Structure 1
Amino acid sequence: MRKNLLIVFIAIAAICFGHHTKAQTATSAPVTVNINLTDAISITLGATPTVDFVYDDAADYAASKTVTKASHFTVVSNRAYDITVAATAAFAPAGGPALSIVTVNVDPTTANGGTLVANVPLSTTAAALVNGATASTGAVYNVDYTIPDAAPLLDLPAAAYSTTVTYTATQL
């Protein structure tokens, strides 16, 4: 039995000492990384989008009026884009002033690399406001609404005349 144990012990020792550790060789495997892009554009109005022109007294009718809307809307686009403006309908109630009495201007400091069109009169036909603005993750636009001459408001009945204005951003 001792002899058998000695043989087993020698066999185990031979296996343990006979096994050599070898260094591993480097291997590599290629990995594909994909970035799948989809054209994306959005326009979001600021916190207080309503524009109010108030004519309370005679002095209001004697000069032009401008309502400035800071951070009026924000555009996010992964490509260059244009912005247009259009009124959805004439001023209501019927018999109100012509839409073109109000002009729209984007503040040049917020043009986002685009070419501005100055003094765009409101119309039910979309009109260019900014052409070729650069792609952006959040271009904020300041907008001025102006009634340069109150003469067309004379002889109109006292009322609140309103329309809805729509801004559209379109990728190029």
Structure 2
Amino acid sequence: MKKWILLSVLALAAIAFTTNQAVAQNASAQRTSATTQVNINLSDVISIDRGSVADGSTVEFNYNTAADYNSTKKVNVPNSLIVTSTKNFDIVVKAKNAHFKKGGDHIPVDVLTIKPVSGGTTTMTGTPSDVVLSPAKQKLISGAALGSSLVLELEYVIPQAKSSSSDILGKPAGTYTQKVTYTATAL
């Protein structure tokens, strides 16, 4: 029995010694790889970029001759709106008030039509709609696809039917003004 106990103690000592040796060897072994976690943190963004011509610019219509009052006038504005959006979006437009104003005189805003231009500088997708200006929000572009620096070229039109009507004829000479606001809204 003493032999049996002695052999058991020696066997346990040998196992312990071998285990310690293996652990020590693994602890001093060189590592050949490391792992790093990389996070990409996203936020929803919709922005009318600073390069947009519509941001702070002026569109001018000049009526100086009889021919001007008897014709359709158009002003094309490349790069009118440049939009970056992480989601599909709409663009709406509205006038600040119901009239172009010069002092106490006024011209109704519905003399002006705003049209999205296909081609040209336009890279924006979606369904375009011509908008007869009003103080109510109206969709100019519906369902535009998300993207970065998407461009919309606009054409401003005063049709001959409006310029040769009492909406414009008979008004005192001068500059009539109106603020037009464009808003991009994520879907």
Q: TM-score, normalised on structure 2?
A: 0.73
Contact 1:111 1:133 (8 Å CA) reproduced: no
> Separation in 2 of the partners of 1:140 and 1:111?
5
**Match of residue 172 from structure 2:** 157
**Match of residue 116 from structure 2:** 106
SS in 2 for 1:34: coil
**Match of residue 136 from structure 1:** 147
> Separation in 1 of the partners of 2:125 and 2:154?
16
Deviation of residue 108 (structure 1)? Answer: 1.7
Deviation of residue 30 (structure 1)? Answer: 4.1
Q: How many residues align?
A: 151
Deviation of residue 113 (structure 1)? Answer: 1.7
- Counterpart of 1:57 (choices 54, 61, 65) is 65
**Match of residue 167 from structure 1:** 182
Deviation of residue 26 (structure 1)? Answer: 5.4
Q: Does 1:91 align with 2:100?
A: yes
Q: Does 1:116 align with 2:125?
A: no
Deviation of residue 111 (structure 1)? Answer: 5.7
User: Is there any run of 5+ residues in structure 1 with no aligned partner, and where?
Assistant: 1-20
Greater shift in the superposed pair: 43-52 or 62-71:
43-52
> Separation in 2 of the partners of 1:161 and 1:130?
27
Q: Does 1:80 align with 2:88?
A: yes
> Separation in 1 of the partners of 2:56 and 2:108?
24
Deviation of residue 137 (structure 1)? Answer: 1.1
Letter in 1 for 2:73: K
Deviation of residue 95 (structure 1)? Answer: 3.1
**Match of residue 13 from structure 1:** none
Deviation readout 1:70-109 (Å, 9 max, x if unpaired): 1112111111110011111221124321101000011122
SS in 2 for 1:59: helix
> Separation in 2 of the partners of 1:36 and 1:138?
21
SS in 2 for 1:97: strand
Deviation readout 1:112-154 (Å, 9 max, x if unpaired): 2210012x01111111000111111101111000001312211
Greater shift in the superposed pair: 42-51 or 30-39:
42-51
- Counterpart of 1:43 (choices 45, 48, 51) is 48
Deviation of residue 27 (structure 1)? Answer: 6.1
Tell me the C-alpha RMSD between the 2 structures. 2.3
> Separation in 2 of the partners of 1:99 and 1:132?
26
> Separation in 2 of the partners of 1:85 and 1:129?
6
> Separation in 1 of the partners of 2:123 and 2:174?
35
> Separation in 2 of the partners of 1:40 and 1:53?
35
Letter in 2 for 1:137: S
> Separation in 1 of the partners of 2:56 and 2:63?
20
